[in-house]
Amino acid sequence: MNAFFVSIPHAGEKIPDLCPWLKGLPEPILMADVDRYVDLLYQPSLKNLSLPMVTTEWHRYAADLNRFPSDVDSQSVVSHANSAGAFTRGFHWVKTFEGAALMNAPMSMEDHKKLVQLIYDPFHAAIQSLCARLRSEGAQKIYHIDAHSMPSLGTSEHRDPGERRADVVVSDVHGKSSDPAFVDLVISSYVRAGFKVAYNWPYFGGRLTERYGKPLDQHHTVQVELNRALYMDEVTKKKKLPEFDKVILMIEQALARVVAGLE
């Protein structure tokens, strides 16, 4: 028996009281790197296919679930041993990928630990609990998509400045987080659904794929980035495009093919 689930770590928009610097920011800045609508794009497919999902309500700038809590520096946490600039977009975001400042002063170590307990620990506990349940139900192999979104063009802060991106980027930490057969299945499934797909560029996978993608333990994780230009206004970060519902159907076609290929 094989099991399959999806995690969505960056669609949450709730700002904790511990991060007052984020409150009142203009929406184009506050939502610049949030995977807005990714949960809405995937939820219908997951419901129709009876697939589990792990997500969060919390904003990634407060505590990024695709980082480790140790991914901080002295700009984000007071007197931290990591020098300023080591983790500008780490566990706590100091500035956006478009270069806008977010934090005007580092937080205390106490507040950092509170955010770990509030946001990071419950999300990862939910993934671990789900995986334990799937194993107890007889799953010998677990397959996992970590779903994200990306801007259509790389910014000056990205690996691909100015490059126009594919519709979907599939990544596996350079072949370390998954059996290649699962990667091939995911790529072919999104291609057959009508997406143009790139592999391991400009994204290689994040801390989630590193943490959970353990092929020797029969847990296979790939990161899937969806181009925002397909379904939303990238300037306002708010307006859905007329193609939004079409993208929902394309995602369902892709996931249905992934599930069928795992049977």
For the stretch 214-226, pLDDT in tens is 999 999 999 999 9
For the stretch 2-61, pLDDT in tens is 999 999 999 999 999 999 999 989 999 999 999 999 999 999 999 999 999 999 999 999
Residue the block writes with tokens 């946490």: 77
How many whole angstroms from its chain centre is CA 18?
22
Q: Which two tokens stand for residue 24?
A: 């009142």
Residue the block writes with tokens 């041993």: 81
Q: Is residue 99 part of a domain?
A: no
Question: For 258, left (φ over 0), alpha (ψ -120 to 50), or beta?
Answer: alpha
Query: What's the N-to-C CA distance of the chain in angstroms?
Result: 8
Closest listed residue to residue 69, CA positions, set 132, 115, 22: 115
Q: In what order do the strands lie in the sheet with 53-55?
A: 53-55, 2-8, 141-150, 219-227, 168-171, 197-199
Q: Is residue 38 part of a domain?
A: yes
Q: Is residue 82 part of a domain?
A: no
Q: Is residue 158 part of a domain?
A: yes
Q: Is residue 21 part of a domain?
A: yes
Q: From start to end of the chain, where are the E strands?
A: 2-8, 53-55, 141-150, 168-171, 197-199, 219-227
Q: What is the pLDDT of residue 21?
A: 96
Provide the residue range defining the domain that includes 212. 2-58+109-262
Q: What is the pLDDT of residue 34?
A: 97
Closest listed residue to residue 63, CA positions, set 96, 91, 34, 35: 91
For the stretch 57-101, pLDDT in tens is 999 999 999 999 999 999 999 999 999 999 999 999 999 998 999
The set of long-range contacts for 88-91, using a CB threshold of 8 Å and a minimum separation of 24, is: 89/33, 89/64, 89/157, 90/64, 91/63, 91/64, 91/67, 91/120
Q: Is residue 166 part of a domain?
A: yes
The domain that contains 124 carries what CATH number?
A: 3.40.630.40
Q: Is residue 96 part of a domain?
A: no
User: Is pLDDT of 246 > 90?
Assistant: yes
Alpha helices in the chain (DSSP H): 27-30, 38-48, 109-115, 121-136, 180-192, 207-212, 244-262
For the stretch 157-166, pLDDT in tens is 888 898 999 9
Q: Please give the tally of structural domains in the chain.
A: 1
pLDDT classification of 234: cutoffs 50, 70, 90? very high
Range of weakest confidence among 108-112, 233-237, 258-262:
233-237
pLDDT classification of 156: cutoffs 50, 70, 90? confident
Q: Is residue 53 part of a domain?
A: yes
